[in-house]
Amino acid sequence: MTALRPASYDGTMERTVDGGVIRFERLLPYRVHDVWDAVTNPTRLAQWWLPFEADITIDLRDGGSLAIARPGIEKVTTCRILHVEPPMLLEHIHLDGLSRLRWELAPVATGCRLRLSHFVSDVDAALENDYVAGLDTSLTRLGPCLANHPIPWDPDQFDRARAHY
């Protein structure tokens, strides 16, 4: 399959009673199982999700954990997994420990639809911490990872996304 370019700046932020939700939806020309692997396989996830080098381990079960260890930094960040329904749903606490991410996959005629929702308690803090621009930049790296051509984090792309959002 060939990778399609993701929609430019498709992230949205909605204020809610409990805070807010950042949403992205991407149509990917890959099977659900392939996208699920890129989201839950620690080696593949490390290739596209984070803006820094890290070793990731995942205990993929309700109540399990997603742990991120950065070279040269003693503290390991651990996020609790809230709910898993392979290969369609993963929900876990975010690295900040205060918000949560929900990854929903669904088959479509052209491959897979990925819906990513980041539920935050403080919209202004999420915007200040560049959560929307960060997720946009990470998701831009997902397609090349799925095509087995991972690309490094691009600070210029991040700055463009930050300026847009």
Task: State mean pLDDT over 67-88.
Answer: 96
Q: Is the pLDDT of residue 40 over 70?
A: yes
Task: State mean pLDDT over 57-64.
Answer: 98
If one counts every other C-beta atom within 10 angstroms of the C-beta of residue 102, the result is 17
Which H or E run includes 50?
none
Confidence of residue 62 (pLDDT cuts 50, 70, 90): very high
Name the average pLDDT for the chain. Answer: 93
Length of the chain: 165
Strand ranges inside 87-141, DSSP E: 89-93, 100-108, 111-120
Query: Would you call the peptide bond into 144 cis, given omega within 30 degrees of 0 as the criterion?
Result: no
What is the reported pTM? 0.91
Rounded CA-CA distance 81/59 in Å is 8
Q: What is the pLDDT of residues 123-148, one digit of tens each?
A: 999 999 999 999 999 999 999 999 99
